[in-house]
Amino acid sequence: MNPTLVFTETDRRRLGGLLLSHEARTQAPWGRLDELLWQLESSEVTDSESVPDDVVTMHSMVRLVSESSGATMTRSVVYPEDVDLFDNAASVLDPLGSSLIGCEVGDTVDCRQGDGVDRWRIVDIFYQPEREGHLHR
For residue 31, give the DSSP letter.
Answer: H
For 29-44, how does the pLDDT look when each residue is reduced to its tens digit (9 = 90+)? 888 899 999 999 999 9
Q: Let me know if residue 132 belongs to a domain.
A: no
Q: Let me know if residue 135 belongs to a domain.
A: no
pTM, full prediction: 0.90
- Confidence band of 3 (pLDDT split at 50, 70, 90): low
Residue 59 sits in a domain whose CATH number is: 3.10.50.30
Q: How many domains does one find in the chain?
A: 1
For 75-114, how does the pLDDT look when each residue is reduced to its tens digit (9 = 90+)? 999 999 999 998 899 999 999 999 999 999 999 998 776 6
Contact call for residues 80 and 33 (beta carbons, < 8 A): no
C-alpha distances in Å from residue 88, one per residue of 3, 31, 84, 92, 136: 26, 24, 9, 13, 22
Measure the CA–CA gap between 43 and 12, rounded to whole angstroms: 9
- Tell which residue, 113, 127, 23, has the closest CA to residue 76: 127
Q: Let me know if residue 117 belongs to a domain.
A: yes
Q: Let me know if residue 95 belongs to a domain.
A: yes
